Structure 1
């Protein structure tokens, strides 16, 4: 039996569950209204995610951080294995088949927590000086960012690859890199933009073409109709015709924000965005509280940036401001991999915050009765 000392609660960050739980509850209500079968499956994902949160919350991460490089390289091996042994779905080779159990594994999803932990480990081992990281240290850290980016982009899964890339360099921006390096990068990207575009896959170019065309794609058109029909205060469940008559595609996952507006209107959308905004702001504000704890700062910044990217891209695509990609809303869209991943990340984050003093680990005991 696991027994927690009550003193641990003094360091537990209660703001996170206070902001996350309303998002989860509202998500379940909408998924249940749209499809009761999917809602029952989502309950299973909730349970698995909670178990994942508890497992990583109780794990003595600071005492076993030496194992983090091995976890990172194991995930790199899995990404390489996708190229050799992976199975293809819809033209993309992103999954590994697990023998005998009829399940598939997507290593790019596993890479997200491993990637953040590796950055935290490296930055803790060699923190920046007052002027930020110099070119040599920047290139060293860039190697660990670009390696999974290239492997995932090759699958091809440019969406997940770009999420890791942006998250990695956003963390470095917050932690500190010499400003001359950033200026050089922005100038280089501006010059190389046409070359990068020409090397995209045809379906990726089509998404960009659909985005910049005068007429949005069918999916986005239906999403905009659903958002417009919601008005200020939304519609009753039986009158949310865009969703219940199947005009709005993938209403429980990719376009769940459009369904939210159709049901709860502009006010409901503002509440949802407000919860995400407060969560992101709270996580970033922890940087000021934990100035010398680089390990925890990397994790809080990384999770905040990850949520910002997912929310920004998902909502932008539902209103036609970004190409349609499979980026879910954290804790909100239907699906298991995203929800469990974020629960694991928050389990790690709460562990680092709650047990940020080594002596706190002694307040957790495991007894077998």
Structure 2
């Protein structure tokens, strides 16, 4: 039996669920409206996701901190295994099939919590000085950022790879790196950009070409029509013709923001963006309270950056301001992998924040 000390209630961050739960409820209402089958699956994902949150919230992470490097390297081995024994779907080899039970896992999704924890572990062990990390320290930490980036990029999964890359270096920017290093990196990227473009896959080049062309792709055109159809206050189920008649592609997943605006209008879309905006600002604001607690600061900053990147790219994609990529809206787009991953991340955050004054997690007692 699990006994929880009442003092947990005074340290728990209530702002997070206050902003996340409305996003989840609105998502479920739209998915339930679109498909009974998807709705039933989403219920299963919700149950698993909240179970994952509870598991990581109660896990004594500080006691098990020494295991973080092992977890990171196990995930690296899984990413390497994708290339050797991975399962291909839709032209990409990103999954590993578990024998005998006909179940697949996506190591790139599992890598996200391991990646965040590894960054937090390294930075806690070697915090920056007043002028930020020097070149030697920067290169050492960069190794742990670039290794999963390269392995995921080879699947190919450019979207997830870039998420980890931007998040990793975004965290370093927040924590502190000598500015001369950033200037050098910016110049290097500018010089190497033609080479990077030539090494993209054909489908990735096509997405960029569709993005910069005068005429948007079919998916984006339908998305823009759906957004325009929503007006200020949105349309009823029967009047949301783009979604009802299946003109809007992947309406419950990649283009769910366009579906939201068609149903709830500009007000609904703006409200959803505000919820995400408040969540991101809240998480980043915690850095001012945490001072030199680098482990928690890295975790909070990384999750805030992940949400910002996911939300920005997904919404820009639906209105034609970014190439079409398979980037979901956190807690909102249909799908189990992304939802469960973010529930794990927020379980870790709540654990670190709730028990930050109690390094031994004595607030949680487990009796059998």
TM range (shorter): over 0.9
**Is the 1:230–1:265 contact (alpha carbons within 8 Å) kept by the matching residues of 2?**
yes
TM-score (norm. length: structure 1): 0.99
**Structure 2 stretches lacking a partner, 5+ long:** none
Structure 1 residues 142-291: aligned runs within 5 Å? 142-291=142-291
Are residue 83 (structure 1) and residue 87 (structure 2) matched?
Answer: no
Partner of 1:36: 36
Whether the 8 Å contact between 1:220 and 1:318 is mirrored in structure 2 is yes
After superposition, the C-alpha distances for 1:104-130 in whole angstroms (9 at most, x for unaligned) are 111011100000100000000000000
Residue by residue over 1:162-185, the C-alpha shift from the partner in whole angstroms, topping out at 9 and shown as x without a partner, is 000000000000000000000110
**Native 8 Å contact 1:8 1:360 kept in 2:** no
Contact conserved, 2:62 with 2:360, CA < 8 A, in 1?
no
Tell me how far apart the structure 2 counterparts of residues 94 and 364 of structure 1 sit (CA, whole Å).
37
What's the CA shift string for 1:266-321, capped at 9, x where partnerless? 01111000000000000000000001110000000000000000000100110011
* Equivalent-residue separation in structure 1 for 2:44 and 2:96 (angstroms): 22
Partner of residue 68, structure 1: 68
Q: Contact 2:63–2:360 (CA<8 Å) still a contact in 1?
A: no
1:54-80 CA-to-partner distances (Å, cap 9, x unmatched) read 000000101110000000000000011
- Quote the offset at 1:357 in angstroms: 2.0
| 2:26 corresponds to | 26
Q: Structure 2: how far apart are the matches of 1:2 and 1:121?
A: 28
Question: 2:14 is matched with which residue?
Answer: 14
- Is the alpha carbon distance of 1:300 and 1:66 closer, same or farther for their aligned partners in structure 2, counting shifts above 3 Å? same
Three-state SS of the structure 1 residue aligned to 2:94 is strand
**More divergent stretch after superposition (31-40 vs 132-141):** 31-40
Structure 2 contact 138–177 (Cα < 8 Å) conserved: yes
Counterpart secondary structure, 1:3: strand
Number of the residue aligned with 1:330: 330
| C-alpha contact 1:299 1:349 (8 A) present in aligned 2 | yes
Following the alignment from structure 2 to structure 1, what is the Cα–Cα distance between the partners of residues 238 and 361?
A: 52
The CA deviation at 1:228 is 0.4
Instruction: Please list every run of at least 4 consecutive aligned residues from structure 1 whose deviation after the TM superposition is greater than 3 angstroms.
Output: none
User: Residues of 2 paired with 1:22 and 1:107: CA distance?
Assistant: 29
User: Where do 5+ consecutive residues of structure 1 fail to align?
Assistant: none
SS class of match (1:128): coil
What secondary structure, in the 3-state scheme, does the structure 1 residue paired with 2:342 have?
Answer: helix
In the alignment, the residues of structure 1 paired with residue 96 and residue 206 of structure 2 have an alpha-carbon distance, to the nearest angstrom, of 27
What is the deviation of 1:8? 1.1
Q: Determine the C-alpha separation between the residues in 2 that align with 1:73 and 1:325.
A: 28
User: Is residue 139 of structure 2 the alignment partner of residue 121 of structure 1?
Assistant: no
Q: In structure 1, what is the equivalent of residue 321 of structure 2?
A: 321
Q: Deviations over 1:160-212 (max 9, x none)?
A: 00000000000000000000000110011111111100010100000000000
Query: Conserved in 2, the CA contact under 8 Å of 1:75 and 1:110?
Result: yes
Task: Please give the secondary structure, in 1, of the residue aligned with 2:177.
Answer: coil
Aligned residues: 368
Provide the rounded CA distance (Å) in 2 between the counterparts of 1:308 and 1:74.
28
Q: Distance in 2 between matches of 1:131 and 1:322?
A: 35
Q: Equivalent residue for 1:356?
A: 356
In 2, Cα distance between equivalents of 1:154 and 1:188: 22
Report if the CA contact (8 A) 2:226-2:258 is conserved: yes
**Distance in 1 between the 2:65 and 2:221 partners?**
48
Residue 97 (structure 1) aligned with residue 97 (structure 2): yes
How far apart, in 1, do the equivalents of 2:104 and 2:33 lie? 29
2:137 is matched with 137
Say whether the 8 Å CA contact 1:227–1:265 is kept in structure 2. Answer: yes
Q: Deviations over 1:46-105 (max 9, x none)?
A: 000000000000001011100000000000000111111111112211111110010111
Q: Deviations over 1:219-270 (max 9, x none)?
A: 1100000000100110111111100100001100100000000000001111
Change (3 A) 1:189 1:359: closer
The alpha carbon displacement at 1:360 in A equals 6.2
